[in-house]
Structures are given as C-alpha cells and as structure tokens.
Amino acid sequence: MKRQIPLIIVIGLGFIFVAHTFIPSRTSQDFYDWWVSWSKAISPFAVVLGILSLFMVHGTKIQRKAPNWQYSVVTLLAVFVTAFVGFVWGTDEGTPFLWLFKNVQMPMSATMFSLLAFYIASAAYKAFRAKSPQATVLLVAAFIVMLGQVPLGAAISRWIPEASQWILNVPNLAAKRGIATGVGLGATATSLKILLGIERTYLGSD
Amino acid sequence: MTFWEKIQNIDRRWIYMIVALCIIVPLLIPFNSKTYVTEPTVNLYKKIDSFSDKEDKAILLSFSHDASTMAELFPMEVSILRHCFERNIKVFLICFSPPSAPLMAYALNVAKEDYPDLESGVDYCNFGYKPYGLFLPIVLGMGDDVGEAVDTDADGRKVKNLEIMKGIRNYDDLNLIIDFAASAAVFSWITYARVRFGANVAAGVTAVMAADNYPYLQSGQLVGMLAGLKGAAEYEKLVDVFAAYEDEQYSDGRNFSQEVIKNTWVPIMKKTISYTSGETNVQTDVELPYKFKQARIGMNAQSIAHIMIIVFIIIGNIGYFLSRKNKNEV
C-alpha cells in the first residue's frame, strides 16, 4: 500500500492533466483552476519544513561541535535577527529589516557573485589553451564575442560586433536548439515512464 | 627556468590582484566610451515606446532575481522605469521570490525620485511579493482579469479599485511583460502568458543567460532582450537620446530613429552633456545623474576586464606553445 497509493495518485492525476491539455472546455478549465488553487497550501508547509530542517542541521552541528560549527551559530543568529526585526518593525522602506537587506544581504550577495570574475580570469590564463582544432575554434569564438561585447571591439572594426552577433545568432542558436530538442524529448520520455509506472525512483528505496 | 615558463606557473594571487585593479580603477575614475546599440535592445525600446500616453496599454515588470545579480540587472530596471515615466506609460511591478521584493521597491524608488508628480495607483502600481505557489494561478488568471488574479497591491489596496486599472483588464491591455532574471524564469512567461494568451514577453537577463534566450528571440516569442550590463548601457543611451531628450524643437522627448542613434555620441562623464547628431549636429544640455548612467560606467570596467582576459589568454597560449617547443627540442 505504501507504494501503490502514491503510484495510483501520480498515474491518475498525470493522465487527468494530460487530458485537460487536450480538452478546451470550460469545465476542464474550471477543474484545472480549482486544482491549481490548492498549490497555495503547499508554500506555507514548505516554509515550515525549510525552517525545521535548517534548525535541525545547524543545531546538531553546534551540539556536536562539528568542524566550522561557528558558522552555524552565525546562520541561526541571522535567521533569528532578520525574522525578529521583520515581525516587529515590518518590511517597509526605512525599517531595520530593509536596512539589513540593503547593507548586509545586498553587498554580501554581490560580493559572492563578483568572485566569478577572479575565477574566470585565472581559469582563462591557466587552462584556456589552443591544444586542439576544437579548442582553437572555441578560443577564436571567445575572442570575438568578448571583443564584440565592449566598445573597443566596435572601435577596432564594425565587423567585430557583427561577427559576435552572428556567432550568437547562428552557431550558438543551432547548438541551443539541439540541446533544447534533446531535453524536450528526454523529458517526454521520462514523463511517459512515470505516467506508465515504469519509472518509480521518486517513491524512494523503501 | 625561462621567462615564459615562469609566467606559466605564476601565483594565482597576482592574477587576482590584476583583476581587482582592472575592475576597481575604471569604476573610481570613469571615462567616456562609446555605446553601440543592438537589435534586441532597440526592439524592446520601440515596443515600450509604442505604449506612450495610452490609457489602455500597460507593461508588467517581473523581478525574478536576488541581490547577487543587481550589478547587471538593476541599471536596466531603472532605465526601463525611467522610460515609462518619461513617456507616461502605465507600469506594474510584481515578484514571486522574497529577496526580489526589496529590490523591486528600491528600483522603483530610485527611478521615481526625479518624477515628483507620479502617483502610486495612478501612474504605476507595485503588486508586491506574491508567493511562488501562486505563480501559475496569477499568470493564468491575468489572462482573464488582472484585478481578480492579483487581488491586492503591495500596500494592501484592492487592485480593481485603483485608477490605473481604467482600461486595463487582461493581457490584451497589459500587453508587455518584461522579466528580469538571472535564471530561466522568463520561459514560464513565454509558456503561459505568450503561448496561451498572446502577450508580448521580453527579457532582461544577466550576460551568461543571454545565449539561452536567442532561440526565443529568433522565433519572435521574445520581442526584445537586454543582455547583461551591455544591454542596460544600450537602453540607458536610448532613453537619453530619445525619451528623455529635450531641446527647443523637442520639448517632450523625440521618436526613435535608427539614423539618429547611429550617429549620436553621448559623453557621459560631464555633468552637463551634449548630443551631437551626425546629420543635424544638434546640441543640448541634459543633467545626467549617476543612476541613469551607471551601466555605462560599469561598462568601462567590463571593457577593461574583457581586454585583460584576452591578454591573459594570449600570454598563456604563447607561454604554452614556447614551453612545448622547448620540450620537443630537448
């Protein structure tokens, strides 16, 4: 029963929603809207689950004094403080919550993302080598696209931004379409396997 | 060990230091650089501009990113809002993730500072944060009735009762959706709003995500796209040259012209700037605050960084080939 009931729910609802897509009637649409409205109930449960999971993982780390447990203290403190100021003073302009967001969250997130520039530059220097014809094509394409993205490229020649656009519009597009078609076919095959009960790994190993 | 071998094994920290200098110095000491506009940016500009002064047309800005990608996306959000405010276009804002809500309010506040006559609920409306669980009901619901689907705005007011809703019912009127994202979020708008209801969809994305969107641009499912900081810089220039342009002849902005944009040079590093159009040699003075040229200043740093990476690759490859040659000779 533990495996059969979820399987029946998935297969039954799966076929119902596939049928909905091909039935352009008001009843079908109303049923779909009614069903989708249930999704509102999922979000609050997900939040509760997320917070519980966070406290369990970091609480255990602190209790056991696991390596780098101090970071867990910072994480839990951040959760408490942010939630506290949000509940007490609200989240509008001029509140401590927004001050925290603008002066802590925003610069920290931007810093983490900007580290990419350092890694890319280092990787380009250490690993981007014309070792084979394929790597050389990649290298030349990267040169043109990088130059085409900045004013210097156009200053050297109007041909560079145009070549950069061509690379994005033709070879890049062809590759992207190929990947998208592959992903689409793969998703269809997997969905069919789930609908027919062949693919059951989502049920877990029990 | 030869010079080239030494340089092959250079400590990464030296590279990091050069990167930091190449990015920080142009930001601290900005300079004038030319911005060339591309077709996806122009198409989006023209689409938004076509809504000017129309009571029964509006655009929806969807914020789907967090603070980490603000450097690229925030300037484009401010530029588009500035365009809407300059051209008297109704604009709505919405987000489905909690970290996007303060960013959305921040972009709106920064853009509207220069337009004291604008009124919330009349000229613009911030729908605020809606839980992601409501994404589908809202996106699909707006195809029938925007007021019903969204229900209340960020201030808790009934959307249906707001003055801005006069003439706005569904995607026939709320006819352009622009999604600002560092992810594939825009595909959901294409799937549900574009395919199902025929709404126009555009994207403002980080540079790394731009390549993914080209198939949708080519198919026409995206009417335009701003790609990374470059797209933001292009849009800033378009707004300067057309929507926010003022002189004796054009007291309230001017219409887009491919010829004008091709020949216009906007030096950003003067408090009072001049526009020089190739054909008419028109000159005008416009105050340009930092917030309306931040993408172009950022592009200075990006330009230097790109050149630096190209130089790194060239040096790395010269070293690689010389080292290989030496090994073969030995």
pLDDT digits (tens, 9 = 90+) for B199-228: 999 999 999 899 889 889 999 999 999 999
Sort out which chain A residues have CB atoms less than 8 A from B303's CB and list them.
150-152
Spell out the residues 6+ positions from residue A18 whose beta carbon is closer than 8 angstroms to its own. Answer: A195
CB of B134 less than 8 A from some CB of A: yes
Tell me if the domain spanning B39-253 has CATH number 3.90.1690: no
- Angle among Cα B25, B29, B33 to the nearest 5 degrees reads 100
pLDDT the model gives residue B174:
95
Contact A150 B309 (CB under 8 A): no
Rg (CA), chain B: 23
Spell out the residues 6+ positions from residue A32 whose beta carbon is closer than 8 angstroms to its own. Answer: A17, A20
Spell out the residues 6+ positions from residue B261 whose beta carbon is closer than 8 angstroms to its own. Answer: B37, B42, B237, B238, B241, B242
* pLDDT reading at B68 higher than 60: yes
The Cα–Cα gap between B114 and A35 comes to 45
Helix or strand holding residue B202 (H, E): strand B200-205
Contact B215 A124 (CB under 8 A): no
CB-nearest to B303 from A143, A152, A176 is: A152
In chain B, the residue whose alpha carbon lies closest to the alpha carbon of A155 is B34
Contact A124 B106 (CB under 8 A): no
Residue B79's pLDDT band, with cuts at 50, 70 and 90, is very high
* pLDDT reading at B159 higher than 90: yes
* pLDDT reading at B273 higher than 60: no
The Cα–Cα gap between A9 and A11 comes to 6
Sort out which chain B residues have CB atoms less than 8 A from A105's CB and list them.
67, 99
Nearest-Cα distance to chain A for B189, in Å, is: 17
The Cα–Cα gap between B308 and B300 comes to 12
Mutate to test the interface with A, among B269, B317, B322 (most CBs of A within 10 A): B317
The Cα–Cα gap between B253 and B284 comes to 12
Sort out which chain B residues have CB atoms less than 8 A from A42's CB and list them.
133
β-pair partners for B227: B205
Contact A121 B309 (CB under 8 A): yes
CB of B191 less than 8 A from some CB of A: no
Average pLDDT, chain A: 88
* pLDDT reading at A206 higher than 60: no
pLDDT tens digits for range B2-43:
777 788 888 889 999 999 999 999 999 888 888 888 899 999
pLDDT the model gives residue B272:
55
Contact A129 B320 (CB under 8 A): yes
**Which B-chain residues 50-69 have CB contacts (< 8 A) with chain A?**
66-69
* pLDDT reading at A42 higher than 70: yes
* pLDDT reading at A23 higher than 80: yes
The Cα–Cα gap between B169 and B56 comes to 9
Nearest-Cα distance to chain A for B249, in Å, is: 31
- How many CB atoms sit inside 10 A of residue B216's CB? 21
Q: How many CB pairs under 8 A join A and B?
A: 143
Give the 3-state secondary structure of residue A190: helix
Mutate to test the interface with B, among A51, A147, A150 (most CBs of B within 10 A): A150
Spell out the residues 6+ positions from residue A140 whose beta carbon is closer than 8 angstroms to its own. Answer: none
Contact B15 A125 (CB under 8 A): yes
Sort out which chain B residues have CB atoms less than 8 A from A41's CB and list them.
133
Please state the rounded mean pLDDT for residues A75-97. Answer: 90
pLDDT tens digits for range A3-16:
889 899 999 999 99
Average pLDDT, chain B: 89
CB of B312 less than 8 A from some CB of A: yes
* pLDDT reading at A51 higher than 70: yes
Contact, B124 vs B146, CB < 8 A? Answer: no
Sign for the CA dihedral angle at A107, A109, A111, A113 comes to: negative
Sort out which chain B residues have CB atoms less than 8 A from A130's CB and list them.
317, 320
pLDDT the model gives residue B281:
60
* pLDDT reading at B108 higher than 90: yes
Contact B313 A143 (CB under 8 A): yes
Only one residue has tokens 């142009």, namely B26
Residue B99's pLDDT band, with cuts at 50, 70 and 90, is confident
* pLDDT reading at A192 higher than 80: yes
Contact B312 A173 (CB under 8 A): no
Amino acid symbol at B253: G
Please state the rounded mean pLDDT for residues B157-164. Answer: 96
ipTM attached to this prediction: 0.78
* pLDDT reading at B291 higher than 70: yes
CB of B33 less than 8 A from some CB of A: yes
Amino acid symbol at B134: L
Sort out which chain A residues have CB atoms less than 8 A from B320's CB and list them.
129-131
| The two three-digit tokens of residue B52, written as one number | 């000017």
